[in-house]
Structure 1
Amino acid sequence: MTPWFKNVIPHQDIKDGVLDESVFAADLAEVLAGNGRAVYRDAEMFFAKTYFTAGLRTICKRVVDGLNGKTDSGDRVVSLQTGFGGGKTHSLITLYHLAQQTKIITDIPEAKELLKQTGPITFESGNVAVFTNKTCDPIKGHKVNGYTIKTLWGEIAMQLGGKDAYEIIAENDQKLTCPKGIFKEVLFKCCPALILIDELADYCVSAAAVTVGKSTLSDQTISFVQELSEAVAGTKNCVLVATLPASAVEVASSELGGQVLNSLSNRLSRVSADTRPVSDEEIYEVIRRRLFESIGDEKEIDKVVTEYERLYSSLGMELPGYATKTEYRERIRKSYPFHPALVDVFHTRWASHHDFQRTRGVLRLLGAIVSDLWQRQNSLTGDVSLIHTSDVNFTNLDPLSSQLKKLYGNGYDAVIPADVSGAKSNAFDIDCNVKEYGSHNVSQGLASTILLYSFGSGSNKGISIEELKLSVIRPSGFNHNSVNGALDRIEGVAHYLYYFSAGTSSKRYWFHTKPNINILVNQAKNDIRSTEVYQEVLTRLNSRAQAVREFNVLVAPSDNVPEQKSPTLIVLHPKYQVNGVEISSTKAGKEIQKIATKKGNSARIYRNTLVFLVCSEVGFTKLQGDIVEFLACSHIRDEYKSQLEADQKDDIKNKADAANQAIESSLVNAYSTVAKNCVSKGIQTLALKQFKEQLDRQIDSNVLNTMIDEEWLLQKVGLNELKRNNLVPSTENYIKTKDVYEAFLRYDDKPMITNSSAVQDSIMRYCIDGVLAIAAGEPPSFTRIYYREDVPLFDVTDATYWLVDKSLYIPAEEGPTCGIIGEQPKGTCCVQEEVGTSGAETTTLTNKHFKKLRISGKVALENWTQIFQSFLLPLKDNKVAVNIEISAKATDATPIAENTQNYKITRESANQLGLEFSAEE
């Protein structure tokens, strides 16, 4: 087969070994200024060397449609969020040239192909504003057209519409205050307008040092991003495209960086996953276009693909299962002249590190490998139809060695010369001593491959024997059994090689220095996903909720929260965050309103029993950091248990314990906003100022006390509160005590109450103090009115108790009713009186005495509860005796039988009370 270097032609900079980072680093600010490398500055050259991925084409179509005025408001704000080197800046440069070079764009062949996907550009020339972290210094500003521009909004206005547009927001720019509601006027003047913002998070970190009143320029800028998003969404022929890093570690190694990224992410809509600038499958074509002037004869490529397919088919089980599938054949074709494993190790393993610049980094490292092999092609022997991982010579590749140390530490300075590459390495020594290995540099090729694959986590760490064979074996090369033999020898002599095998699976190999706990933790942090963080928060919230005494606590409930009759604290999911300003329009606010007013699809009845505990953006940043630290330590402790030495195990345990303790504190600090929905006033909030060490104590103490202090929660209901809410009776208006109680449960314009005693005890006190009276029974024929006295066994939730005006009470000395008004009860009341012995007739009885009372008659079932209040309680000290006779008849709707509940309950109750029980068949 033809060697790869006889078929392909690299670009001249690759041949010459010009491989500094600037060759592959796109800089939007340089393009705007007309500086930088021609490959980015010159539109024709740029389009010629750019492979338009599906993601990039999607973004371009979305922007072109937006500038043409075709898209809806939601599609005009685009956020590109990928890791370092993920193609964000390259995408912005593409959009810049599309909007700026509309007159010549149709003359560029590659651009014409792109326009077939996006559709034609219908405007002559668009106004473009570009803002990067280098555009405007937060302190000194940026001088242009006789003005000193100081802010993001000033730059955008000046670039889009010159002085006329700038004057609209000039005062806001000079005073560093976010314009409110007026930026739409700027956009309207400048349509069609494309706004490109790159590295904004990094700019905001610097802007945080500039004070603006009680806030900072960073705060004002973040606020403007939301203002700008809404203005663009509401203005046709305008598009905003902004980039964000994928994680906080790409902004700054500080809590502020994470906070800034979190705030910006919450304010910008993101492009969905299928519009990433560069997908995994497209990386191959991106590499080809950027590194090679010509990829060579397609027939030669077909020969190479066919030979590798035959080889892998013959090896069968010696290789990973996917190697013999048709899909892998196509990957060999796409990745030519590289073996897919070489591309994959950089694009997947190395790119998982947060400091690796993904596409840019892959291009630079592969470019360095091609350059090294191109320059020493005359010394290459054997089958070199593809470039394998085993062709990587770390000794010759300073960019690769430097990147390795940058990502994974200087300790590999010792690993490479000791075990991998160079005349004194163990791999070199093995090849020299074993002839069959030496002719193909088997051991050195294996060592280089293992080092390249040494990075990952858990079951993905290192490389298996099957994967090693796939990476190093060639059609006309050594026998696959040589891999097993060479590995055995390397295991016996290597100083930094590690391996493990789990169950029946083959060994996995990797190199590392003595594990550095901090490095391991940082690596593990990048594997922690937001879903894991949220789950850990919810687990801890649920655990602490069980210990709360003063509230019924529900953690991240569904929309169908049952009706509650006691104070219920709903702790919102951590994804709902607030930033200390009005929250009704936020996602958190909408969730609060939904739960507070609806029970599933029905209107909620008891709306004044729910209060919400909400996470803050600032607090979540700290909480997230602590949880990621804890989870990372836990993963390391579990995954590296057999590899860590005793002192290292102690270190990781101490770090995990410290992170665990920090989580308890940061959980309390994060959930620092108490919110309550009110239909008439919107969502009201309280900011907690004091904090306990654990969330359950925080809720039982500071949340409770703050609500009481702010009169959100009442332990007793004051008379003025009753009057304000028309809950005090008048001579014409009686009020059920149950209605008074439920008014504080149902209507969210009132304070909440701690429990029913808050109403019951207060009403009882007002009765005893003579403010009002409590009546029992049904109006107007109350069976008893209590005034300036205790009400025995009073229950505020009993519908037979009423608040009545005190004037309805008739004292005993004013009449015979003794506080009982209305008609004489039905039935008979027989009084046996003591007769005097004098025989004299008494014409006036001022105080007649009786020996005995007997009351009998039929009582309607609905009045049965009045018997206790009206008869038994008043006579409780008079040796009262009760004889009852209860009869009941079976009906078609409600039969009585031995197996029915009505029969079982009444018979058992009669037995327990010693009553006679009979049933007639």
Structure 2
Amino acid sequence: MKPWREVAVPHQDVLEGTFQQSEFAADITAVNTGKASREYQDAGAFFDRTFITEGMALLLTQVAQRLAGKGGEPVVQLQTAFGGGKTHTMLAVYHLATRKCALSDLAGISALVDRAGMMDVPQARIAVLDGTAHAPGQPWKRGSQTIKTLWGEIAWQLGGAEAFALVAEADATGTSPGKDVLRDLLERHAPCVVLIDELVAYIRQFPESHAISGGSYDSNLSFVQALTEAVKLVPRAIVLASLPESDLEAGSQRGVAALRALEKTFGRVQALWKPVATEEAFEIVRRRLFEPVRDEKAREAVCRAFADAYIAEGVKLPADTQERHYYDRLLHAYPIHPEVFDRLYDDWTTIDGFQRTRGVLKLMAKVIFRLWKDDNKDLLIMPGSLPLHDGGSRNELTYYLPAGWDAVIERDIDGDRAETTALENKEPRFGQVGAARRIARTVFLGSAPSSVASKVAVRGLDRAHIILGCLQPGQAASVYADALGRLADRLHYLNASGDKAQDSTRFWFDTRANLRREMEDRKRRFDDRTEVRGKIAEVLKKTVGNAPSFDGVHVFIPHGDVPDDTALRLIVLPPETWYAREEHRLAFEAVLEIIGKNGAKPRYRSNRLIFLAPDHGAMSRLSDATRVALAWGSIVEDVKEGRLNIDLLQKNQAEKELKSAEDALPRVVRECYKWLLCPMQDAPTDPKPGIEAFALNTTGGSVGSEIERVCADNELIISIWSPIHLRAKLKEFYWKDGQNAANAAGFFEDTLRYLYMPRLKSRHVLAQAIRAGAASKDFFGTAYGETDGKFEGLAFGGGDVVFDDTLLLIEPQAAQAYENASRAAPASIASTVTISPSRVAEGPSVYAAASGNPSPTSPPPSSISAKPKTFYGSVEVPPATAKMRLVQIAEEIVSVLTSDPNATVRLVVEISAEFPDGVGDGVRRAVSENARSLGLKSADWE
């Protein structure tokens, strides 16, 4: 297929860039005085470049019929938008009526006259009234005759001095001639045409309630009324007048008043005519800018290829491209794509001041000149083809827009330093077809008018129309769709409504940076160690804080702030201590430090901690998602506080984006924090602890339930324990080397401390295992301590068990032997039981008992009838372990005592400290102040 430049060649003035902008503005006075350019002055050249629209054809037919006395409307008002072809239509009537050449030399006129059933069009006299040619208060000369008014000008142009004599008195006094005088004037010089252009511009200049040489405001309105009434009575006379469509074109308040008055006056007898339809504009522009198409087959081949490509893409393009008539639109608009005309006529003409036909011609002339010079090889001139990098083309568009668009184009749309150019240089698949720049140009053409035009109902272009403005046969729509998505995330001034992935999303450029770019700029402001880390911690507390297996969840806190107690705790490691299968040093070092230290002191209960670590591969995504949420949050906050001024649409967008970011963050956190790290030790003799990693499932239920599942499946935390496992641990570490009894409380304490011991969920789990095991003789016997070498309250194979600090778990054979000895021994022989605590090397606390002859004089506690009523206890606590020991005493003694609601418990703490060399001032001052703040009854120094 041939590119447009090989099929449709522009006119020479367009090719050379020698055209003048003023040449696009038809001036009927210049034509009437013989001073216009050839394109307008010569009737043949004018009709060669003029496409006779349906409206113009009807008008010219009526003019021909009227001049021939065969009917037709006497008065026609041409009222269209600015640049809608009013003056151009008057020129067509002018050339038809003056008949300075044969009808056969006027392209399209002969066929028009034939359809009207006429043989010829009589040559007529022409009077042209141009409201911008003369000033109402300044008389002008026609030869030796001074003329002051419009009616004097009409008379002179129709019949010279003889005709002027009919209205000379009215001209001198500035009063309107009557209908009869004007009728006489028209009849004498019929067939005749009166063309009135820019009449509002003339009448609005009259001062209110004041007459000048050109008459008065009222006398001129009276003249217009008399003229329209008179022309109805003359069969071969016709009046054409152009009036602006909008109040803005009328000018001042005075001009608007004149427009309203003239509309009422012409409204009595006029025939309204709307000249140019949008589809007809295709041919108007093509004829004015291009030579006739040289190769019709090439044009048809290109248009057919476009139509077929659109059908192949289907729903990715607008619905009207799937219809047969779109091929016809392509043919009529060739070599310009219909989408260019649609955007210019539907969108740009809503801007006050953009001329409907003239503005399009001026723009496209500059565009075509630049494309021709740049050797553009596109098949059609499309929205994506517009050379916005060219100053002339860009200025023609930005002239009608508010200030600030030049910066938008240079940065985001087109040019060597634009983001689109950078993206194409980075991505070859975009650069091959210029996808990024084409997308940006298309969006600009379709959305820039909405920044100033009030008539645009919906802002921006949808995805289908954007792709339509770029896609050529042989290209894939997916490339442009991908480029659009990349630009939506990258460009500063490109806005989108809603989800960018939806087909219904609309895109537009604005001179204000879009909120997404504002968000991207703000993302970089947040500090990783404070704001980002704090936001992640906040989300983690909500998502992980409800883990049911743990008594406490600690997020990003120093090891000194993690209590060293019996509670089972989940420690969430900070982002910088990430884990990866191939690199786990940072996470493992952090775990070992926490299980080894409690601030400046060593940690004793290391087996109560499990760790949650972030995945290294997901850290960057988590950081980015967190920054996005923080950025949108700051934007919404600034809007509420009035620090950021945005419109309602952007405000709603910011709130929606914030919600989306906040909703997405917990998912990203969960995907990142997916590693459960558990410190372990296979045997007491291992030189140092090991760490095992378990992956969490990042989908499905809650994080807490997933952690609980992994802990249960891998026996990281034991919620239900069988007495057989308890017996096995007792045999492994406690019932050996002559020791056959172990303190149950000591065993539980060892499970808190040593990593090779089972990690029980709570003391209750051990109590349940002891209770289940004590019911039979298969596992262990129980007793409540030793007094004078005797087991107290020995039970083996039954009985209730109270798990307290005195409870002993006795090896089954030793328990059986002691029980047998207790029954067989005579009453006079006492049993001797010796219990001595012993420590397994580097292992748990072990309380062992040596079997002897049981004493029958020492009945078990259960046989004592009298219950003790008072408990006194005292202990000397080493200062080095005071914190741990006091907590232990509170948990394991005081809490048990207070469990009886009838008990009255009183605690007295005595502190005695001696300083051989005397106490220092700093220590004395600190102790005294702390004693007062803590409310000590006595705090004396001696």
| In the alignment, structure 1 residue 362 sits paired with structure 2 residue 369 | no
* 1:839-854 matches, cutoff 5 A: none
Deviation at 1:55, TM superposition (A): 0.8
The answer for the alignment partner of 1:480 in structure 2 is 477
Q: Aligned partners of 2:99, 2:486: CA distance in 1, in Å?
A: 61
The answer for the alignment partner of 1:392 in structure 2 is 386
Q: Aligned partners of 2:105, 2:418: CA distance in 1, in Å?
A: 56
Residue 650 (structure 2) aligned to one of 636, 639, 643: 643
Deviation at 1:493, TM superposition (A): 2.4
The answer for the alignment partner of 1:489 in structure 2 is 486
RMSD between aligned residues: 2.8
The answer for the alignment partner of 2:770 in structure 1 is none
Residues 38/207 of structure 1: CA separation in 2 closer, same or farther (3 Å cut): farther
| In the alignment, structure 1 residue 43 sits paired with structure 2 residue 43 | yes
Higher-Rg structure is 2
Deviation at 1:103, TM superposition (A): 5.8
Whether the aligned pair in 1 keeps the contact of 2:199 and 2:242 (CA below 8 Å) is yes
| In the alignment, structure 1 residue 12 sits paired with structure 2 residue 12 | yes
Q: Aligned partners of 1:355, 1:422: CA distance in 2, in Å?
A: 27
Q: Aligned partners of 2:305, 2:92: CA distance in 1, in Å?
A: 39
Q: Aligned partners of 2:389, 2:503: CA distance in 1, in Å?
A: 33
Whether the aligned pair in 2 keeps the contact of 1:80 and 1:270 (CA below 8 Å) is no
Whether the aligned pair in 2 keeps the contact of 1:421 and 1:427 (CA below 8 Å) is yes
Q: Aligned partners of 1:645, 1:92: CA distance in 2, in Å?
A: 51
Deviation at 1:435, TM superposition (A): 1.4
The answer for the alignment partner of 1:66 in structure 2 is 66
* 1:730-749 matches, cutoff 5 A: none
Whether the aligned pair in 1 keeps the contact of 2:79 and 2:273 (CA below 8 Å) is no
Question: Sequence identity of aligned pairs in percent?
Answer: 33
**Structure 1 stretches of 5 or more lacking a match?**
517-638, 647-921
Deviation at 1:216, TM superposition (A): 6.6
Residues 450/211 of structure 1: CA separation in 2 closer, same or farther (3 Å cut): same
Residue 432 (structure 2) aligned to one of 439, 455, 469: 439
> 2:417 is aligned with what amino acid?
K
Whether the aligned pair in 2 keeps the contact of 1:26 and 1:40 (CA below 8 Å) is yes
* 1:702-713 matches, cutoff 5 A: none
Q: Aligned partners of 1:160, 1:272: CA distance in 2, in Å?
A: 22
Q: Aligned partners of 1:121, 1:231: CA distance in 2, in Å?
A: 28
Q: Aligned partners of 1:213, 1:300: CA distance in 2, in Å?
A: 63
Deviation at 1:331, TM superposition (A): 0.6
The answer for the alignment partner of 1:179 in structure 2 is 177
Deviation digits for residues 97-136 of structure 1 (CA, Å, limit 9, x no counterpart) = 1111166334445432332244547665311100112332
Q: Aligned partners of 2:206, 2:212: CA distance in 1, in Å?
A: 14
Q: Secondary structure at the match of 2:474?
A: coil
> 2:12 is aligned with what amino acid?
Q
Q: Aligned partners of 1:189, 1:273: CA distance in 2, in Å?
A: 25
The answer for the alignment partner of 2:126 in structure 1 is 128
Q: Secondary structure at the match of 1:453?
A: helix
Is 496-505 or 345-354 further displaced after alignment? 496-505
Whether the aligned pair in 2 keeps the contact of 1:66 and 1:237 (CA below 8 Å) is yes
The answer for the alignment partner of 1:410 in structure 2 is 403
Residue 449 (structure 1) aligned to one of 425, 442, 453: 442
Q: Aligned partners of 2:270, 2:9: CA distance in 1, in Å?
A: 37
Q: Secondary structure at the match of 1:642?
A: helix
> 1:486 is aligned with what amino acid?
A
Whether the aligned pair in 2 keeps the contact of 1:57 and 1:118 (CA below 8 Å) is no
Residues 172/67 of structure 1: CA separation in 2 closer, same or farther (3 Å cut): same
Q: Aligned partners of 1:460, 1:366: CA distance in 2, in Å?
A: 26
Residues 208/643 of structure 1: CA separation in 2 closer, same or farther (3 Å cut): farther
> 2:482 is aligned with what amino acid?
G
Deviation digits for residues 559-609 of structure 1 (CA, Å, limit 9, x no counterpart) = xxxxxxxxxxxxxxxxxxxxxxxxxxxxxxxxxxxxxxxxxxxxxxxxxxx
Q: Aligned partners of 1:118, 1:162: CA distance in 2, in Å?
A: 33
Q: Secondary structure at the match of 1:35?
A: coil
Q: Aligned partners of 1:103, 1:323: CA distance in 2, in Å?
A: 44
| In the alignment, structure 1 residue 232 sits paired with structure 2 residue 246 | no
Please give the TM-score of this superposition, normalised by the length of structure 1.
0.53
Residues 448/163 of structure 1: CA separation in 2 closer, same or farther (3 Å cut): same
Q: Secondary structure at the match of 1:460?
A: coil
Q: Aligned partners of 1:231, 1:156: CA distance in 2, in Å?
A: 13
Q: Secondary structure at the match of 1:510?
A: strand
Deviation digits for residues 443-477 of structure 1 (CA, Å, limit 9, x no counterpart) = 11111111111124554321110111111111123
Q: Aligned partners of 2:513, 2:61: CA distance in 1, in Å?
A: 48
> 1:396 is aligned with what amino acid?
D
Residues 287/109 of structure 1: CA separation in 2 closer, same or farther (3 Å cut): closer
* 1:806-825 matches, cutoff 5 A: none
Residue 160 (structure 1) aligned to one of 151, 158, 165: 158
Is 319-328 or 136-145 further displaced after alignment? 136-145
Whether the aligned pair in 1 keeps the contact of 2:99 and 2:123 (CA below 8 Å) is yes
The answer for the alignment partner of 1:242 in structure 2 is 241
> 1:203 is aligned with what amino acid?
Y
Q: Aligned partners of 1:640, 1:116: CA distance in 2, in Å?
A: 59
The answer for the alignment partner of 1:869 in structure 2 is none
Q: Secondary structure at the match of 1:227?
A: helix
Deviation at 1:337, TM superposition (A): 0.9
The answer for the alignment partner of 1:222 in structure 2 is 221
Deviation digits for residues 254-275 of structure 1 (CA, Å, limit 9, x no counterpart) = 2112111111111114999994
| In the alignment, structure 1 residue 425 sits paired with structure 2 residue 418 | yes
Is 261-270 or 225-234 further displaced after alignment? 261-270
Residues 263/427 of structure 1: CA separation in 2 closer, same or farther (3 Å cut): same
Q: Aligned partners of 2:425, 2:259: CA distance in 1, in Å?
A: 53
> 2:34 is aligned with what amino acid?
G
Q: Secondary structure at the match of 2:203?
A: helix
Q: Secondary structure at the match of 1:157?
A: helix
Q: Aligned partners of 2:499, 2:216: CA distance in 1, in Å?
A: 54
The answer for the alignment partner of 1:327 in structure 2 is 325
Whether the aligned pair in 2 keeps the contact of 1:350 and 1:356 (CA below 8 Å) is yes
Q: Secondary structure at the match of 1:294?
A: coil
* 1:180-195 matches, cutoff 5 A: 180-181=178-179, 182-195=181-194
Deviation digits for residues 402-446 of structure 1 (CA, Å, limit 9, x no counterpart) = 232321122212211121111121211211221111121111111
Residue 300 (structure 1) aligned to one of 298, 302, 306: 298
Residues 491/273 of structure 1: CA separation in 2 closer, same or farther (3 Å cut): farther
Residues 29/274 of structure 1: CA separation in 2 closer, same or farther (3 Å cut): closer
Q: Aligned partners of 2:363, 2:115: CA distance in 1, in Å?
A: 32
Q: Aligned partners of 2:213, 2:41: CA distance in 1, in Å?
A: 42
The answer for the alignment partner of 1:258 in structure 2 is 256
The answer for the alignment partner of 2:496 in structure 1 is 499
| In the alignment, structure 1 residue 197 sits paired with structure 2 residue 196 | yes
Is 173-182 or 435-444 further displaced after alignment? 173-182
Residues 272/408 of structure 1: CA separation in 2 closer, same or farther (3 Å cut): farther
> 1:470 is aligned with what amino acid?
L
> 2:280 is aligned with what amino acid?
E
Deviation at 1:189, TM superposition (A): 1.6
Residues 143/322 of structure 1: CA separation in 2 closer, same or farther (3 Å cut): same
The answer for the alignment partner of 1:624 in structure 2 is none
Residues 34/644 of structure 1: CA separation in 2 closer, same or farther (3 Å cut): farther
Deviation digits for residues 588-643 of structure 1 (CA, Å, limit 9, x no counterpart) = xxxxxxxxxxxxxxxxxxxxxxxxxxxxxxxxxxxxxxxxxxxxxxxxxxx95323
Whether the aligned pair in 2 keeps the contact of 1:53 and 1:282 (CA below 8 Å) is yes
Whether the aligned pair in 1 keeps the contact of 2:77 and 2:266 (CA below 8 Å) is yes
* 1:454-853 matches, cutoff 5 A: 454=447, 455-456=449-450, 457=455, 459-477=457-475, 479-501=476-498, 506-514=504-512, 641-643=648-650
Whether the aligned pair in 1 keeps the contact of 2:28 and 2:90 (CA below 8 Å) is yes
Please give the TM-score of this superposition, normalised by the length of structure 2.
0.52
Deviation digits for residues 5-47 of structure 1 (CA, Å, limit 9, x no counterpart) = 1112211011101243223211100000100201110112112
* 1:282-301 matches, cutoff 5 A: 282-301=280-299
